[in-house]
Amino acid sequence: MELKAIFLISIFILSFQYYVKAENNVYVDVIVVFKEKVDEKIILKYEGKIEYIYQIIPGVSAQIPLKYLSDLQNEPSIKYVEINQAIKIQQEIQWNMYRIGAPTAWVIGGTTGNHLIQVAVLDTGIDGAHEDLSVNVVWCYVATDEILPSPCFDNNGHGTHVAGIIGALLNNIGVAGVAPSIALYNIKVCTGGGSCFIDDIVEGIDQAVRGPDGIIDRDGDGQVAGDPDDDAADVTNMSFGGFGPFPAMHDAVIAAFHYGLIQVAAAGNSGEAGVTEPGSYPEVIAMGATDINDNVASFSSRGPELDFAAPGVNILSTLPANQYGSLSGTSMASPHGAGAVALIEAARLLHGLGFLNFNDTYNVLAETADDILDPGWDRYSGYGIIRVDKAIQLALIPTQRSTVVVSYPTVTYTEYTVANTTKTFTYTNLTTYLLTNYSYQTNTITKTTTVVQRFFTIAYEKAALMDYMTLLSFALLGIILGVGLGILIRRVI
């Protein structure tokens, strides 16, 4: 018989899980990541028990006798051994407000979502029998070790609440989600007590990439999100967080990012203590929380990793057993972001446009967000409150080939004299599309360069902010030789 003991070390992080057997051997839950490929024999060599073999990173979750832990860590083929920990779901209790323009977005995009776009909800589970969710919950997977009364049972309520914000049905019952016709993958990685152990989270991300058929990248093209040949999730929501480091979780997030999944997470309920993992990762969109008056919630984590804000105070949504209730936290803000991304992708699919990757999606959201504090990005609200209606309007602009004439003044650069100097270049728009002037900043001078006045024509693709950066790069590379350029666009990977 095994006894599991969990030791709390903070509101976000739980300490190690130990398994004590009758013969007084102490076992510890670990994540073992190999440098190249998994070697199960090494785990067995140290009397370990493998619980799960990850496919998106070369690692396993396992139970290892504590007495062999240091020996295992010193194995030359092993990259690292991480003690399994738990991080907490981001939850406080109160208010709901429809602030992000979802109803208008349904009209602009011509859709409330469809089941060809899947959002994986990594959480405490979802009540798949709920009257406002049952149609949209199409698959479930349990990563936790709990004994449940039924498959994928939500024994906490947090996951069902999060799922309702993303995809509660538009059926004149209860509430409606941001994308009421989207498909939901119910991936249970958090326990009924609200603890989310790292090995279960990694397993959940692994399953989101694999999808119901269990196969990663069926057609071998390196992309699973937005690929009709694969049933992987297109978007993931992770309404939990903790202060790490958690290298296995980050490795899994990076792997999912490279497969094309757009990952959204709660920024954390830690205020000035900073954005928690996984929201702090550059491959993840971190969502902070605001209230009905557009004030940033006092608990909402601040910091340089914060990306956007959304309602997160007193949000009314679904709860198990056909119930409804209000909760507060960045856990409630995050699914607004995930639902918005899913709705954007569904609208593009309906209009015959391709799947927007992480960078393009990020830039569409950044261009269309409502500033509530300083213009542009700030550490309290990111780029502001997301506006899915404006985002869809921008995302549905078809790619156009346009001609732009760029002109610039005569400028003489002397070595070391113009570092961090801003020069503004203008261009003439020959199309009917509205373009915006940008200022370009030079950061590094490598030699004295004289720029004479001249004109040239380049091809310009009208779409989102990335195209403006393309214009900037081509224009300046053609103009200034020997001048290094710094583009102050945040979190473009």
> What is the C-alpha end-to-end distance of the chain, expressed in Å?
48
The angle, 0 to 180 degrees and rounded to 10, between the axes of the packed helices 330-350 and 158-167 is: 30
Q: How far apart are CA 489 and CA 360, in angstroms?
A: 12
Q: How far apart are CA 62 and CA 50, in angstroms?
A: 4
Q: Of 124, 110, 127, whose CA–CA distance to 190 is shortest?
A: 124
Query: Could you count the other beta carbons within 10 Å of the beta carbon of residue 44?
Result: 12
Q: How far apart are CA 492 and CA 301, in angstroms?
A: 21
Q: What's the per-residue H, E or C state across the chain? A: CCEEEEEECCCCEEEEEEEECCCCCEEEEEEEEECCCCCHHHHHHCCCEEEEECCCCCEEEEEEEHHHHHHHHCCCCEEEEEECCEEEECCECCCCCCCCCHHHHHHHHCCCCCCCCEEEEEECCCCCCCCCCCCCEEEEEECCCCCCCCCCCCCCCHHHHHHHHHHCCCCCCCCCCCCCCCEEEEEECECCCCEEEHHHHHHHHHHHHHCCCCCCCCCCCCCCCCCCCCCCCCEEEECEEECCCCHHHHHHHHHHHHCCCEEEEECCCCHHHCCCECCCCCCEEEEEEECCCCCECCCCCCCCCCCEEEECCCEEEEECCCEEEEEECHHHHHHHHHHHHHHHHHHHHHCCCCCCCHHHHHHHHHHHCECCCCCCCECCCECCECCHHHHHHHHCCCCEEEEEEEECCCEEECCCCCCCCEEECEEEECCCCCCCCCEEEEEEECCCEEECCCEEEEEEEECCHHHHHHHHHHHHHHHCCCEEEECCCCCCC
Q: How far apart are CA 54 and CA 448, in angstroms?
A: 54
Q: Of 405, 382, 394, whose CA–CA distance to 464 is shortest?
A: 394
Is 331 tagged catalytic?
A: yes
Tokens of residue 390, six digits: 């404006």
Is 231 tagged catalytic?
A: no
Is 280 tagged catalytic?
A: no
| Active-site residue (options: 29, 123, 291, 389) | 123
| Active-site residue (options: 239, 270, 300, 331) | 331
| Active-site residue (options: 158, 161, 250, 336) | 158
Q: Of 331, 338, 302, 301, whose CA–CA distance to 314 is shortest?
A: 331
Query: Which residues are catalytic, by number?
Result: 123, 158, 331
